[in-house]
Amino acid sequence: MRSLFRGQTKLFQNWLSASGAIVATAAFFAFLFLFLTDILATHGNPYVGLLAYIVAPVFFFSGSGLMWYGFWLHRRHVYKGDANVHPLIIDLTRVRDRRILQFFMGGAVAFLLVTAIGVTETYHYTESTGFCGETCHGPMHPERTAYLNSPHARVGCVECHVGSGAQYYVKAKLNGMHQLLATIANNYSRPIPTPIKNLRPAQETCEQCHWPSKLSGNLDRTYRHFLSDQTNSPFTVRLLLLVGASDINPVMANGIHWHINITNKVEYFASDPQRQIIPWVRVSHADGTSTVYRSPDFKGEPDPTQLRRMDCLDCHNRPAHRYSTPNESIDQAIATGAIDRSIPWVKSNLVAALTVRYETKPEAFQKISDRLRGVYKDNPAAEKIVAQAQHIYSQTFFPEMKADWRAYPDNKGHKEWPGCFRCHDGQHTTADAKRKIGGSECNSCHVILAQGSTPEDLKKLNSEGHTFFHVDAEYSDLSCNNCHTGGQIKE
């Protein structure tokens, strides 16, 4: 290098090359900062990689390019005889030189400062919920809307999606870049597929805030429904969910959270990408033995690499992005008084208006309005009903992304999706058919404390659990979701 440039290094001594050098230096320090943040940060952020390994180098090479361009330009002048090869001499006694130097130094300091602030700000921005949910507005709009309505609305996206630890961080980083490119090229899938294959294990995300030993006790939950009849009759179920240790049912002493007790290892094989069909389940016991349960039509052995160990997300798969079913949204709106229950057939008319497939949100708003105004022509409440229906639509339907409850099953219960009954359907047995998966009776997971339509019904508490009387009608065993689709009920 030295011999090659002997006598020529002076050619770098010009303002253009000096500016290039400053840009390159700033980029180099920005890279160092980002690189260190990248490897030292406890909460990795996939987009830092983008800044560190793409944006900073682009500036570094542009700066270097500018240096060489100055060199080349200067050399050309020299060879043409326009100038002598002389180093840039700054003579502070000359007014012109002082001005240029002041200007240059000012510019350089400002540039370095802006770079430093820019880099830190960009870094914080990529960490923010706004970046994930808003910048990436098109694809993430449904997830963000559902998230803002969820109990985790104050938990940052990165807390669940990135977290700490090198292995998942690298995966998230590659993923982040891939997603950014897909967004720019507009070729991401609609809806965004679920489940996320490489989501961090729940121990490293959920359990940072909800440690298992803290999760105990049972939950008293009341589910308020309104039937699709003329009077929108109320029908309420009050359940005691046996989440933690249960003294009510000694057989199920460990409750629903039994699965996350560290000594209980449940692995399963799902035969579909959404993990809705589970024909094979293995429980490993503390003494080293294990029990395998299969559904009647599954004979072979599953591919060992396709097995998944059950964790929080196998039940709580929609903790931050639950798309309520139209049935639930309207029950909720009637229960809170947002929709007046005395309006005839309001429950069934609203469900029907919402569940039509619309291509775009404006189309949906228009058609929902036309339809309901048609039905409630002479009703002064028509305006309010339309506004409520449109509000519900905007919070739970995202036609441009094909995202709504139909695309995203919730595994926590068993009414609209198979959920718990993917395993607890009473059909999974050991090879000798002698044992089936325990916990598959109606009282294993909850007891019905009260049920019915009137306040008097709901006062008749039964700590042993009522038998579910299902709105006075027949229901066939465990396949609730055969009829309950979340929208119109199939009979």
Within positions 141 to 200, which residues make up the interface with ligand HEC, using CB under 6 A?
143-144, 147, 151-152, 155, 157, 159-161, 192, 194-196, 199
Among 18-26, 234-242, 388-396, 457-465, the segment contacting ligand HEC (CB under 6 A): 234-242
Per the CB < 8 A criterion, the answer to whether 443 and 428 are in contact is no
Per the CB < 8 A criterion, the answer to whether 81 and 208 are in contact is no
* 392 vs 40: CA distance, rounded Å: 44
- In the list 22, 415, 417, 466, the residue contacting ligand HEC (rule: CB under 6 A) is 415
Check whether the bond before 326 is cis (ω within 30° of 0). Answer: no
Does position 316 interact with ligand HEC (CB under 6 A)? The reply is yes
- The position carrying tokens 């997300």 is 313
Does position 66 interact with ligand HEC (CB under 6 A)? The reply is no
Among 87-95, 98-106, 115-123, 467-475, the segment contacting ligand HEC (CB under 6 A): 467-475
Per the CB < 8 A criterion, the answer to whether 150 and 141 are in contact is no
Instruction: Identify which of residues 54 and 196 has a Cβ nearer to ligand HEC in the complex.
Output: 196
In the complex, least distance from residue 431 CB atom to ligand HEC, rounded to whole angstroms: 15
Instruction: Identify which of residues 258 and 397 has a Cβ nearer to ligand HEC in the complex.
Output: 258
In the complex, least distance from residue 203 CB atom to ligand HEC, rounded to whole angstroms: 7
Site residues (CB under 6 A) for ligand HEC, limited to 9-48: none
Per the CB < 8 A criterion, the answer to whether 139 and 188 are in contact is yes
Does position 349 interact with ligand HEC (CB under 6 A)? The reply is no
Alpha helix locations (H) across 1-156? 2-5, 15-40, 46-50, 56-79, 95-127, 129-130, 137-148
- Residue 239, classed as helix, strand or coil, is strand
Does position 252 interact with ligand HEC (CB under 6 A)? The reply is yes
Does position 266 interact with ligand HEC (CB under 6 A)? The reply is yes
Residues whose CB falls within 8 Å of the CB of residue 100, separated by 6 or more in sequence, listed in order? 15, 90
Site residues (CB under 6 A) for ligand HEC, limited to 472-491: 475-476, 478-480, 482-484, 489, 491
Which helix or strand (DSSP H or E) is residue 234 part of? strand 234-241
Among 57-65, 251-259, 393-401, 456-464, the segment contacting ligand HEC (CB under 6 A): 251-259
Could you tell me the two tokens for 439?
């916990």
Site residues (CB under 6 A) for ligand HEC, limited to 285-314: 310-314
Does position 437 interact with ligand HEC (CB under 6 A)? The reply is yes
Query: Of 106, 95, 103, 120, which Cα lies nearest the Cα of 45?
Result: 120
**Per-position x/- string for 206-225, each x denoting binding to ligand HEC as judged by CB under 6 A, each - no binding:** xxxxx-x--x---x-x-x-x
Instruction: Identify which of residues 74 and 347 has a Cβ nearer to ligand HEC in the complex.
Output: 347
Does position 449 interact with ligand HEC (CB under 6 A)? The reply is no
Residues 310, 311, 314, CA angle at the centre, nearest 5°? Answer: 75
Residues whose CB falls within 8 Å of the CB of residue 353, separated by 6 or more in sequence, listed in order? 367, 368, 371, 372, 389
